[in-house]
């Protein structure tokens, strides 16, 4: 089995490694030493090995994941030496392959991936660009890999990795709005998350679009339509669209 090494052991490394181990990945995982507490935790609890420095991670890995924050990415990569046949997997948002390539050997294979924190619960829909057998299999251990052959799709798709985060705020808002004397908070939470999961699961199995599903549910005279009409009247969905557009611009501007 191949060895994978992580440069940058922060939140992403933590949830991804927890997720792949939970999913049964048994391969060797090497870690950079900075952020010692997290690296030690992963070493003790999830069978990883903390190396002395970044170069030692790279020199002993077949696949190298760069998982620093965007601002640290290029400087960190430019200090490393890669050998023939290695693959760099960048999970760094907003830095395209061409920009990564500017500080890397011209023949190094580069793959981008965007796992989200539901990896920890084995359910990250992980965007991958371009196809790479090992990367796809690795991220399948913590959810499902979604491969795209066009970097523009990856960039636009990355916006949805942020929308994923906004869903939690929406969940919290709905919990606060529905809990009270008639509905205990724990039950409200269970129902909010349960309904969100149920809607996503139905939409994923149906051939109809989400808009068509709504049309079939929120028919004239229903309580669903009453609430939906109010949301539309207040233009509640407009800022979501605007927030997506803002991120799309920023993700491209970062390139
Ligand atoms: N978190 C998410 O939900 C998420 C989702 C999708 C993609 N991403 C991408 O994943 C990347 C990492 O995000 P994160 O949330 O894990 O960030 P993070 O928690 O801040 O972790 C980044 C880690 O990299 C370390 N680091 C910085 N420079 C380094 C170097 N030269 N060598 C070794 N380690 C170095 C940092 O150490 P110091 O703290 O000491 O600087 C920190 O421990 C980001 O580029 C982000 O765009 C994150």
How does pLDDT run along the chain (255 residues), one tens digit per residue?
899 999 999 999 999 999 999 999 999 999 999 989 999 999 999 999 999 999 999 999 999 999 999 999 999 999 999 999 999 999 999 999 999 999 999 899 999 999 999 999 999 999 999 999 999 999 999 999 999 999 999 999 999 999 999 999 999 999 999 999 999 999 999 999 999 999 999 999 988 999 999 999 999 999 999 999 999 999 999 999 999 999 998 888 655
Q: Which residues line ligand 1 (CB under 6 A)?
A: 7-13, 32, 34-35, 54, 67-70, 72, 76, 91-93, 114, 116-117, 161
**Could you identify the atom of ligand 1 that is nearest to the CA of residue 92?**
45
Rounded Cα distance, 212 and 128, in Å:
29
User: 202: CA distance to ligand 1 center in Å?
Assistant: 34
The fold for domain 4-149 equals Rossmann fold (3.40.50)
Same fold? 4-149, 158-253 = no
CA-to-CA dists, residue 152 to 75, 88, 124, 128, 137, angstroms: 24, 19, 20, 12, 23
Please provide the CATH number assigned to the domain covering 158-253. Answer: 1.10.3730
Report the pLDDT value the prediction gives residue 254, as an integer from 0 to 100: 56
Please state the domain extents for the chain.
4-149, 158-253
Q: Which two tokens stand for residue 113?
A: 């991936």
In the chain, which residue ranges form alpha helices assigned H by DSSP? 11-22, 36-46, 54-59, 70-78, 97-101, 133-140, 151-178, 185-205, 210-217, 223-233, 238-253
Report the pLDDT value the prediction gives residue 98, as an integer from 0 to 100: 95
Rounded Cα distance, 40 and 138, in Å:
22
> Any bridge partners for residue 180, and if so which?
183
- Give, using CA atoms, the residue closest to atom 18 of ligand 1: 10
């Amino acid at each position: 089995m191949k060895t994978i090494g992580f440069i940058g052991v922060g939140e992403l490394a933590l949830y991804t490694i927890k997720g792949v181990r939970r999913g049964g990945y048994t391969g060797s995982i090497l870690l950079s030493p900075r952020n010692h507490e997290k690296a030690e935790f992963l070493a003790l609890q999830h069978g990883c090995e903390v190396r002395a420095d970044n170069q030692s991670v790279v020199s002993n890995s077949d696949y190298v994941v760069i998982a620093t924050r965007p601002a640290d990415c290029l400087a960190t990569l430019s200090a490393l030496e890669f050998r023939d046949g290695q693959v760099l997997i960048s999970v760094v948002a907003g830095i395209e392959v061409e920009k990564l390539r500017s500080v890397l050997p011209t023949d190094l294979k580069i793959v981008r991936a965007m796992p989200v924190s539901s990896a920890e619960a084995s359910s990250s829909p992980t965007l991958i660009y371009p196809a790479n057998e090992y990367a796809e299999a690795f991220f399948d251990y913590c959810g499902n890999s979604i491969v795209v052959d066009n970097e523009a799709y990856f960039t636009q798709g990355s916006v949805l990795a942020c929308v994923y985060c906004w869903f939690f705020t929406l969940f919290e808002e709905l919990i606060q709005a529905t809990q009270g004397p008639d509905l205990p908070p724990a039950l409200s939470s269970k129902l909010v998350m349960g309904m969100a999961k149920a809607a996503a699961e139905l939409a994923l199995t149906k051939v109809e679009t989400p808009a068509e599903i709504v049309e079939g549910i929120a028919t004239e005279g229903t309580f669903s339509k009453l609430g939906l009409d109010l949301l539309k009247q207040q233009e509640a969905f407009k800022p979501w669209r605007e927030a997506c557009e803002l991120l799309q611009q920023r993700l491209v501007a970062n390139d």
